[in-house]
């Protein structure tokens, strides 16, 4: 499944013109207590190209992509994640503490 997740993340990067910095499993599978029908919840932090940050209008800072019944991708733009981390948002802490890291960008 890890190969499938990494492939989906690479395709998502390409199709949305983003760079995923960090991706992990979240939810019951990540913490070792999945039910028989649990899907794979993959959460990620990403950045846009520089031009995206140089506009006056802010674009969407969340991306969601339910691949199928088994795999769900969702991510937050890095600036949003840092603001939430600063305000002690539990979801960001959970993502960063996940024991199952799917990818950390090597600067591709």
- The enclosing domain of 69 has a CATH number of 3.30.460
In this model, does residue 87 exceed pLDDT 90?
yes
- Is the overall model pTM greater than 0.85, yes or no? yes
pLDDT digits (tens, 9 = 90+) for 23-79: 999 988 888 888 888 899 999 999 999 999 999 998 899 999 888 989 999 999 999
Burial (Cβ within 10 Å: 0-12, 13-18, ≥19) of residue 84: middle
Q: Return the pLDDT at 28.
A: 87
pLDDT digits (tens, 9 = 90+) for 4-19: 999 999 999 999 999 9
Q: Return the pLDDT at 106.
A: 52
Determine the structural domain holding residue 82 and report its residue range: 2-104
Q: Return the pLDDT at 104.
A: 62
- Strands in 19-26's sheet, in edge-to-edge order, are 62-66, 71-77, 40-47, 19-26, 101-104
- What total number of domains does the chain contain? 1
């Amino acid at each position: 499944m890890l190969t499938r997740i990494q492939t989906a993340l690479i395709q998502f990067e390409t199709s949305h013109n983003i760079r995923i910095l960090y991706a992990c499993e979240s939810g019951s599978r990540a913490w070792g207590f999945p039910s028989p029908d649990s899907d794979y919840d993959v959460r990620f932090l990403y950045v846009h190209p520089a031009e995206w940050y140089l506009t006056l209008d802010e674009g969407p800072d969340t991306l969601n992509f339910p691949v199928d019944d088994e795999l769900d991708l969702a991510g937050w733009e890095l600036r949003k994640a840092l603001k939430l981390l600063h305000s002690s948002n539990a979801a960001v802490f959970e993502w960063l503490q996940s024991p199952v890291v799917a990818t950390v960008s090597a600067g591709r």
